[in-house]
Amino acid sequence: MRLPHIAVLALLAAGISAAEAATVTTGWEANAGNQDQCIATAASAIERTGFRVNIAQDRQAVFGWRGEENISIRCIGDRGLAVMFVYTHAGRDNNQLISILRDEYRRGGGKR
């Protein structure tokens, strides 16, 4: 696939090294809940993972910040419910954090 090579070239052309570029780690799953439940559960999971929580105005996503890291859970409910997990950090791929966040989401909306 050519896209990653083009992206690296574009970053280098812009004067940004590949090590400074943000990496994105994602995961998703299907869910039988409703949109409001998904957003509430997402906010709780992000908070329990140690991030500051902010719910989008359109109530489609929940964002979390911790220093230079950010994470989000997007609830897509127009046909069933798909839940998308995204982690972004400069130069760091973190499938382990996505797994932890997914586990916290699966535990539900309750606080520890």
What is the C-alpha separation between 39 and 59, in angstroms, rounded?
A: 7
pLDDT at 100 over 70: yes
pLDDT at 45 over 60: yes
In a domain, 65, yes or no: yes
What is the C-alpha separation between 20 and 6, in angstroms, rounded?
A: 16
pLDDT in tens, 5-21: 444 434 444 444 444 55
CATH number of the domain encompassing residue 89: 3.30.530.20
pLDDT at 95 over 90: no
In a domain, 1, yes or no: no
In a domain, 9, yes or no: no
